[in-house]
A and B are shown apart, each in its own frame.
Chain A
């Protein structure tokens, strides 16, 4: 893996003879992912130069090239501005949850941005929860501020993609739904594993046709495709841009069939428990593996 700041600074120093290379690299690339996204094409261009420099100097690069084992990956967007998670958005999932029909317009809720964790982090199992569930999804990371965009233009605002697991406490959600909306049941600390990295949009020309897979302790439990989405990615972006979206905001697609709350037959009732290893994978994007640990 290439440390972009170091590699770009080396490029600036050695190729462009820039005397304040480190400062320049920081300004151009930004200090974190949201700053990087806000800088847009300039930052991407700098990243390409950094990569070219690193591949031209495989042995050197002054510490720019690292063994992935040396790196603890965080979520690519550790704290989104808004984390908009779609619900009831796969025809196969709507059927298994015994909803009569899909919704007439996009459905989503806000997960708290503070719930995001990295691709290898543990998911704390809260003592209040009895029915803990998983939901593999694709995360769409917004790269440019937008409001009221059309479906045709929607893809221009996507910076990239990541795998996402919408961890859900079904029993808490049921009790919240009696008088309110689901907020707590979706937003305990660590309920939003995301990663393993941001794959830039140019790498995935057709995000609407990717396989989604989730396994628990090696057993496959969800196996579907983003082509079954009811409201497609471009429809989601157009619809949710009505509230205004900013760089670093994240939309997630909703999940296909196979969640614990819907799977049949699962006898006796089956839920996630401490010790389980949950692996959520999106084709061409990557895989998360998170272990459930008692809090």
Chain B
């Protein structure tokens, strides 16, 4: 199932809501569940009970675990039975929306750990055995944007590129998680485009840093939704592609990546991981024709599209951030 985070026109700026996609509609989960609960009497507490199972953020939702997943199953089968248009909240509220009616937000807003697995210096890769540690870097939550928002070319850079990634979303927290139990901690997966100011990144790499080259406004495209609880086989087979102006530039699946889910979780859970954190891995960590794929150089004005059929797509226009300053 695909879960979205969004705002409705009627809601206050911080009143985010979670939605589930059913056919072509987005279903307002707390209201739909309240409607479902009020069918079996007790209308007075239906809203409160529903908002317990479907809180304001996806991170809080995954914390609820099995209980909320079960409530989600109930809502979805109820929606299928009733049909989207006739579905209402307890007081007749609208529950089913077209995608265009919801202001979709990055599905994760403020994770403590938002890491992308990657090497800073790809030229050294030949010397690295396959099982070397999955080093990574941190993407600041303030850099997140979701589908439809422009990617703004930073004026401090002359060379910007993109790398399509899959972000594994943590559902169950833990510390120093044993590789054999890694899979139990995954709640779902979403798409991420890691935007890099490559000239800056190269310079920062000389001192084994990368900060400005990876963290500027709109340098992390995330979403559009969380694909909840895919099976292991489904997850590893998810094909992700990145296209620029309609032509495909990158294609990969998790099974092509040089690190496994177990390696990533075992390594980074040393620091402790929490529900709503994510670990992402991308095409540049995936082998194709015996070598790692390259990031895709961007041009101002082009359209960037990252997609995977079971998840959806991120679509972004690359726009100028103003004149080169230096």
Contact call B212/A242, Cβ cutoff below 8 A: yes
Contact call B135/A242, Cβ cutoff below 8 A: no
Contact call A183/B207, Cβ cutoff below 8 A: no
Closest 8 CB pairs of A and B: A180-B135, A177-B208, A114-B112, A179-B119, A181-B120, A109-B209, A107-B207, A243-B216
Contact call B154/A242, Cβ cutoff below 8 A: yes
Interface of B is mostly: loop
- Known pairs A181-B210, A182-B209; list 8 more (Cβ under 8 Å): A82-B215, A103-B206, A103-B207, A107-B209, A110-B215, A147-B217, A176-B208, A184-B271
Expressed in whole angstroms, the minimum distance between the Cβ of B205 and any Cβ of chain A is 8
- Across-interface contacts of A40 in B (CB, < 8 A): none
* Chain B: interface residue total (CB-CB under 8 A): 40
Residues of B at the A interface (CB closer than 8 Å) are 112-113, 115, 118-121, 124-125, 128, 132-133, 135-138, 140-142, 154-156, 203-212, 215-217, 268, 270-272, 325
Residues of A at the B interface (CB closer than 8 Å) are 81-82, 84, 87-88, 103-105, 107-110, 112-114, 126, 128, 147-148, 175-184, 187-189, 240, 242-244, 246
- Across-interface contacts of A177 in B (CB, < 8 A): 208
Partner of A243 from B124, B206, B207, B212 at Cβ < 8 Å = B212
Contact call B203/A183, Cβ cutoff below 8 A: no
- Offer 24 A-B interface pairs, CB within 8 angstroms, sorted by A: A82-B140, A82-B142, A87-B207, A108-B209, A110-B138, A110-B211, A112-B138, A113-B112, A114-B113, A176-B135, A176-B208, A179-B125, A179-B128, A180-B133, A181-B135, A181-B137, A182-B209, A183-B136, A187-B271, A188-B271, A240-B212, A243-B211, A244-B216, A246-B142
Expressed in whole angstroms, the minimum distance between the Cβ of A24 and any Cβ of chain B is 21
In the complex formed, the residue of A with least CB distance to B117 is A180
Q: How far is the CA of A105 from the CA of B212 in the complex (A)?
A: 12
Contact call B140/A81, Cβ cutoff below 8 A: yes
Expressed in whole angstroms, the minimum distance between the Cβ of B214 and any Cβ of chain A is 9
Contact call B204/A107, Cβ cutoff below 8 A: yes
